[in-house]
Amino acid sequence: MNKAFRALIALIVALHGAAPGLAHAAGDYPDHPIRLIVPFAGGTSTDLVARVMGEAMSRKLGQPVIVENRPGAGGSIGTDYVAKSRKDGYVLSLGTVGTLSINPALYPTLSYSPARDFSYLAMAGYTPTLLVVRADAPYKTLADLVAYAKAHPDKLSFGSAGNGTSGHLAGELLKSMASVRMTHIPFKEGGQALAAVLGGQVDFMFYHPAAVLPYISSGKMRALAASSARRSEAAPTVPTLAESGYPGFDLTAWFMLAGPDGLDAGVRQKLLDTAADVLQEAGVRKQLTALGLEGTGSLGPGQLQGFVDTETAKWSKVVKDANARVD
């Protein structure tokens, strides 16, 4: 028996043994806990959305879906971890507009590619951000804030949950469209930026309705504008920036469930079905609506990659036009 023939026999045996194993793995999936990586700190909007989805998916899959926070570098650290994880469906990510569409333009040497490295599974929903100031700030309207910024270049500061987040880019877009100079102050997480606005260390920020509405209701903060093209369902009395003199201003944060590219077909289909089912549950939708999300489950599996690609192209232009940078 020559070497070539022995090698062929060995290959046939290996393939014969591997195929049933793959089918078995997909059929039994999941047989141990799944880790859902949140690339931001606990208590952030992304974390809260992930916990709602993780709890619902746990019930459906019969295995715990454990939320694990891996923050840093505008969400790039945790996102890269998922991109390089095993393709077995046991490590997933809740991606955001920042990690999947803004960071590629903001970080020239980003270690992952949203176009190549992920298998997109479900659109959890989207939400505008609200431009908020503390209640005793002298700015009653967006026009007041912009007028002050024009009269006092570099005096106003805006906080964000970090470089590359939706709050960062909303501030940069406002700077560009209003032709004003303001200072961006990135924090490690949104809660720190929110506390800085409340404490007067930072003048304003763009942040998600779920986080700021309690402070607005209690009289500690005031919302001047919403970043989306239409008013937020969670704050319908707050005018949009487009209504306030900045036509074309449209920024919504969004959250998308994803795994590493190359997931086993059976595992991917199970995750697609599970995510679609839980996002139709009345209880889950109620929880996500309470967090300010709209459009839950609004995109089908075949639309997700195209949506990410379109958003990436959009935000690449915004980053370039606004001359946004990592602070």
User: For position 23, what pLDDT does the model report?
Assistant: 44
Give the mean pLDDT of 130-151: 97
Q: Is 189 helix (H, G, I), strand (E, B) or coil?
A: coil
**Which positions ≥6 away from 202 have C-beta within 8 Å?**
157, 158, 159, 185, 193, 196
User: For position 3, what pLDDT does the model report?
Assistant: 52
The reply to whether 81 and 148 lie within a common domain is no
User: For position 72, what pLDDT does the model report?
Assistant: 87
Instruction: Give how many domains the chain has, as a whole number.
Output: 2
Place of tokens 């209701």: 217
- 12 part of a folded domain: no
pLDDT band for position 27 (50/70/90)? confident
The reply to whether 94 and 157 lie within a common domain is no
- 212 part of a folded domain: yes
Q: Is the pTM of this model over 0.85?
A: no
CA distance 47 to 98: 14
Instruction: Tell me: pLDDT of 320 over 50.
Output: yes
Q: Note if the bond before 30 is cis, omega within 30 degrees.
A: yes
Q: Where are the alpha helices (DSSP H) in 73-161?
A: 76-83, 97, 103-106, 142-151
The reply to whether 276 and 302 lie within a common domain is yes
**CA neighbor of 166 nearest in space, from 113, 102, 221, 211:** 102
The reply to whether 260 and 122 lie within a common domain is yes
Give the mean pLDDT of 97-114: 91
The CATH code of the domain that includes 159 is 3.40.190.10
143 contacts 242 by C-beta, under 8 angstroms: no
- Kindly report the number of other CB atoms within 10 A of residue 235's CB atom: 17
CA distance 210 to 318: 25
User: For position 2, what pLDDT does the model report?
Assistant: 54
- 17 part of a folded domain: no
The reply to whether 121 and 270 lie within a common domain is yes
- 231 part of a folded domain: no
140 Rama sector, left if φ>0, alpha if ψ -120 to 50, beta otherwise: alpha
Give the mean pLDDT of 181-188: 93
- 6 part of a folded domain: no
User: For position 73, what pLDDT does the model report?
Assistant: 85
**Which positions ≥6 away from 63 have C-beta within 8 Å?**
30, 31, 32, 33, 34
The reply to whether 123 and 269 lie within a common domain is yes
235 Rama sector, left if φ>0, alpha if ψ -120 to 50, beta otherwise: beta
Q: Where are the alpha helices (DSSP H) in the chain?
A: 3-28, 45-61, 76-83, 97, 103-106, 142-151, 166-178, 190-199, 209-217, 265-278, 282-290, 301-322
- 16 part of a folded domain: no
- List beta partners, residue 253: 127
The reply to whether 35 and 66 lie within a common domain is yes
The CATH code of the domain that includes 123 is 3.40.190.150
Domain enclosing residue 219, as ranges: 130-226
The reply to whether 141 and 279 lie within a common domain is no
Give the mean pLDDT of 146-175: 93
188 contacts 88 by C-beta, under 8 angstroms: no
pLDDT band for position 108 (50/70/90)? confident
Instruction: Tell me: pLDDT of 130 over 50.
Output: yes
251 contacts 228 by C-beta, under 8 angstroms: yes
Long-range contacts of 136-143 (CB under 8 A, 24+ apart): 137/203, 137/204, 137/222, 139/204, 139/224, 140/222, 141/224, 141/244, 142/224, 142/225, 142/239, 142/241, 142/244, 142/245, 143/244, 143/245
Least confident of 3-7, 64-68, 298-302: 3-7
- 244 part of a folded domain: no
User: For position 327, what pLDDT does the model report?
Assistant: 62
Q: Pick the more confident residue, 169 or 241.
A: 241
**CA neighbor of 292 nearest in space, from 189, 223, 196, 202:** 223
Return the HEC string of 235-271.
CCCCCECCCCCCCCCCCEEEEEEEEECCCCHHHHHHH
Instruction: Tell me: pLDDT of 190 over 60.
Output: yes
48-85 residue pLDDT tens: 999 999 999 999 999 999 999 999 888 999 999 999 99
The reply to whether 145 and 219 lie within a common domain is yes
The reply to whether 115 and 170 lie within a common domain is no
Instruction: Tell me: pLDDT of 28 over 50.
Output: yes
Instruction: Tell me: pLDDT of 162 over 90.
Output: no
- 257 part of a folded domain: yes
Q: Which two tokens stand for residue 161?
A: 């949950």
49 contacts 294 by C-beta, under 8 angstroms: no
User: For position 11, what pLDDT does the model report?
Assistant: 47
The reply to whether 169 and 214 lie within a common domain is yes
The reply to whether 159 and 216 lie within a common domain is yes
